[in-house]
A and B are shown apart, each in its own frame.
Chain A
């Protein structure tokens, strides 16, 4: 029988990332295919740490030009006024549009920075086997995954303004080099969140099994069933 309340990998079980099928993989060095959806199957995303590091470092480098080069230039009556992401927010604050300023500040500055720092913390704590709160780390990962898309806000806004304010010599809005770098930061951090495998956080349990805050390995399945059904909630 399969023991509940333990790590699936210790029992050579793997859940397919695509279709959720659970399969038994007897040999860790063999290449498997999911019997249900025929996608490659492994215990963890192969090379997850290395791929995520590569994407995070590239995004961190591009974060500098994304914030120093102008993203948008408003040309009004022949006079150009280039704006970086930050000076655009300062302009909004001066114009008294605080909610919008906050929204843009959150989506364009806080979110990318939070993603880069958060993923770096997760990667370091896995590599150096830090004692972290695993549940909190998983919640942070899920948050990083969820908010990533919202950084596209500034780019969509620019693409709308570029066509909306296209009135020849009176007023034109042009894109700046910073927006290309910023777009790359958004895509790279989204890909990084995608290649990071959150199950690696819980593999740290193998160092200290006493920190497992669920039932101990080999416990009776009944106890786990009750624990699970307690968390059942209506889905809307």
Chain B
């Protein structure tokens, strides 16, 4: 009794199911617990490459340009992505600074870079061993990128401060929104299991490409 290509197992409830053929742009759900089993996305690699590339380009201005400026009387102070974490670190809250920096700056960058590398390597049939490593890393960090939560955080800070002084929305915020949208598109389109299946096909077609013995 070998592992068969015609069955699948639900990740959430462990039910053994016959693997149906689904069409492009469809997903299969478990009939018992409703979990998504797998999906088929047309031109997944191209879309992921496009979205991650635009995200990476926007990442630079989003993190260097000011997001918002607060003015009261003739004084003003600006906020960028990084200086919030820096300010927290300087006042001794290094644990909070670390978390904010990780979830809003470091992990989103790693996520975009890894997704870009993965799609690139699969698209151009590079050695599969390293691509698999990248897929595992991407899966581990993905959950800790919280750009959409940060976006709502900006919104709340804006509304809270609007009565107290003059708030100016800066270019950095527009770049940040663009980066957020690109990241969301990339993570919606990209499917880890589909990527692994593509790598399996490549291993089958080019046994010499594997890099390391199984």
Contacts and interface: CB of A to CB of B under 8 A. Distances in A.
Interface of A: 1-9, 11, 13-15, 17-24, 35-39, 92, 95, 97, 100, 103-104, 134-135, 138-139, 141-142, 149-150, 152-153, 155-168, 170-171, 174-175, 179-180, 183-184, 186-187, 190, 194, 198-199, 201-203, 213-214, 221, 224-225, 227-236
Contacts of A17: 11
A19 B128 CA distance: 14
A53 B206 CA distance: 46
A190 B56 CA distance: 27
B214 A35 contact: yes
A187 to B, nearest CB: 7
Interface in B87-144: 87-88, 91, 93, 95-97, 99-100, 103-104, 132, 135-136, 139, 143
Given A152-B103, A183-B95, A202 B13 contact: yes
A234 B26 contact: yes
B91 A156 contact: no
Given A4-B17, A37-B135, A180-B93, A138 B157 contact: no
B26 A3 contact: no
Closest 6 interchain pairs by CB? A156-B153, A159-B84, A15-B9, A20-B193, A160-B157, A235-B27
Contacts of B3: 13, 21-24
Given A3-B16, A164-B79, A20 B27 contact: no
B41 A175 contact: no
A18 B150 contact: no
A6 B16 contact: yes
Nearest to A223: B18
Given A4-B7, A180-B93, A190-B143, A163 B79 contact: yes
B15 A8 contact: yes
A155 B135 contact: no
B151 to A, nearest CB: 9
B16 A233 contact: no
Which size class do B's interface residues fall under? 35 or more
Nearest to A177: B93
Given A2-B16, A23-B3, A163-B79, 10 more contacts: A39-B136, A138-B12, A139-B33, A152-B103, A157-B153, A157-B157, A165-B77, A179-B93, A180-B93, A229-B22
A235 B26 contact: yes
Contact of A22 (B9, B39, B95, B136): B9
Interface string B18-46: 10101001111111111101110100000
Given A37-B132, A162-B88, A171 B164 contact: yes
B207 to A, nearest CB: 15
Contacts of A234: 25-26
20 contacts: A4-B18, A7-B14, A15-B10, A20-B8, A37-B136, A37-B196, A135-B32, A153-B153, A153-B156, A160-B68, A162-B87, A162-B88, A167-B76, A170-B73, A194-B143, A199-B13, A202-B15, A202-B33, A234-B25, A235-B41
A230 B31 contact: yes
B50 interface: no
Contact of A159 (B16, B27, B96): B96
Contacts of B20: 225, 228-229, 232
